[in-house]
Amino acid sequence: MAGPRLPDIDDIMSKIRKMNIEMTSPYNDGYVSWGIKQDLYLLKFFLDKVIADAPDFVGEEDWLKDKEQELMMEILKK
């Protein structure tokens, strides 16, 4: 296979979900939970920069609108 070998998005999201579970676990103290939250912040800042530096693509705006609507529907269902 040609090109770079990219990580599986499901694997990345699974690891982030595990971080969330550990961060909110009542069995962890504030030091552990705060450290995990700091890591999530660092990841967010990194992704914000990567996305800001990325070019715009055809269909991107429509895709983002669809995802925002899906998110809004999830919020309204709660």
pLDDT digits (tens, 9 = 90+) for 13-48: 999 999 999 999 999 999 999 999 999 999 999 999
Structure tokens at 67: 């995802």
Residue 53 in any domain: the answer is yes
Residue 3 in any domain: the answer is no
Q: Which amino acid is at 31?
A: Y
The 3-class secondary structure across the chain, one letter per residue, is CCCCCCCCHHHHHHHHHHHHHHHHCCCCCHHHHHHHHHHHHHHHHHHHHHHHHCCCCCCHHHHHHHHHHHHHHHHHHC
pLDDT band with cut points at 50, 70 and 90 for residue 4: confident
User: Could you list the residue range(s) of the whole structural domain that residue 70 is in?
Assistant: 9-77
Residue 4 in any domain: the answer is no
What domain count does the chain have?
Answer: 1
pLDDT band with cut points at 50, 70 and 90 for residue 78: confident
Question: Could you tell me if 5 and 19 are in contact, meaning their C-beta atoms sit under 8 angstroms apart?
Answer: no
Residue 1 in any domain: the answer is no
